């Protein structure tokens, strides 16, 4: 939101690439309101492929999106199901619709709002912001204008310029902004079951599946997993 506000302040009206998940649409009420009120031109599409990631009891589905001749990654964070909210099977997330890519020949720059202090819950890292720009010959260059901003810088700007924010996702506690810890309306996460996908050596071989209502085997060795070296730019 801060990056979009900055670009609009200098007279740019960028088209927006929206990595929207198809599940739990209530989590997108804020985004849909901003799209309407700011009259944004928004593109979204399906990933080229998806694969699992796990660190201890933290799971993600990493999605690879093909953009012209560039490949971008965007994870689906996973949180445990809760009784009063809809949830989805993580195998269904892996089986989401796929497509080869999006062709946007008029794009010559992609503005990315990641900061150097942002980290992936599974991989860690700095979201690829070790450079100000990643120049891709004959392709749209990736630009990171907020790479040196802190979390506090973002919230200071948000308050000073009254940039809209998702009040159901963020809260101010003792003078400091944070994400609400329950992640109930956090669009970066899907409430999903991962019981049969625990890849740790001591994981149970059989689990109770709440979707099927029966005992099933652990299928962690039967699904695709991210090859770490392919995402090394994200890691610490």
Q: What is the pLDDT of residues 180-225, one digit of tens each?
A: 998 899 999 999 999 999 999 999 999 999 999 999 999 999 999 9
pLDDT score for 135: 84
Separation CA 101–CA 98 (nearest Å) = 9
pLDDT score for 157: 98
- The pair of three-digit structure tokens given for residue 220, joined into one six-digit string: 């962690």
For the chain, what is the domain count?
A: 1
What pTM was computed for the model?
0.86
User: Which residue reads 């993600």 in tokens?
Assistant: 60
pLDDT score for 140: 80
Does residue 122 carry a pLDDT above 90?
no
Separation CA 159–CA 162 (nearest Å) = 5
Cβ atoms within 10 A of the Cβ of 109, count?
11
Domain that holds residue 173: 2-234
Please answer whether residues 146 and 115 qualify as being in contact, where contact means their C-beta atoms are separated by less than 8 angstroms: yes
Separation CA 196–CA 59 (nearest Å) = 12
């Amino acid at each position: 939101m801060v990056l979009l506000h900055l670009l609009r302040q200098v007279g740019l009206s960028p088209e927006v690439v929206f990595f929207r998940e198809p599940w739990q649409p209530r989590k997108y009420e804020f985004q849909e309101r901003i799209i309407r009120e700011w009259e944004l031109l928004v593109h979204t599409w399906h990933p080229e492929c998806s694969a699992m990631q796990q660190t201890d009891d933290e799971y993600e589905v990493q999605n690879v999106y093909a953009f012209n001749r560039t490949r971008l990654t965007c994870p689906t964070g996973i949180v445990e199901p809760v009784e009063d909210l809809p949830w989805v099977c993580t195998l269904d997330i892996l089986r989401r619709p796929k497509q080869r890519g999006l062709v946007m020949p008029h794009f010559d720059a992609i503005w990315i709002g990641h900061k150097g202090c942002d980290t992936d819950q599974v991989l860690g890292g700095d979201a690829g912001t070790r450079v100000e720009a990643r120049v891709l010959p004959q392709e749209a260059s990736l630009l990171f204008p907020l790479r040196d901003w802190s979390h506090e810088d973002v919230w200071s700007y948000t308050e000073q310029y009254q940039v809209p924010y998702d009040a159901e996702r963020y809260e101010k506690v003792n003078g400091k902004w944070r994400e609400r810890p329950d992640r109930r309306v956090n669009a970066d996460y899907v409430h999903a079951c991962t019981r049969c996908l625990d890849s740790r050596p001591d994981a149970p071989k059989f689990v109770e599946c709440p979707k099927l209502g029966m005992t099933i085997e652990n299928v962690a060795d039967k699904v695709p997993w991210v090859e770490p070296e392919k995402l090394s730019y994200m890691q610490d």
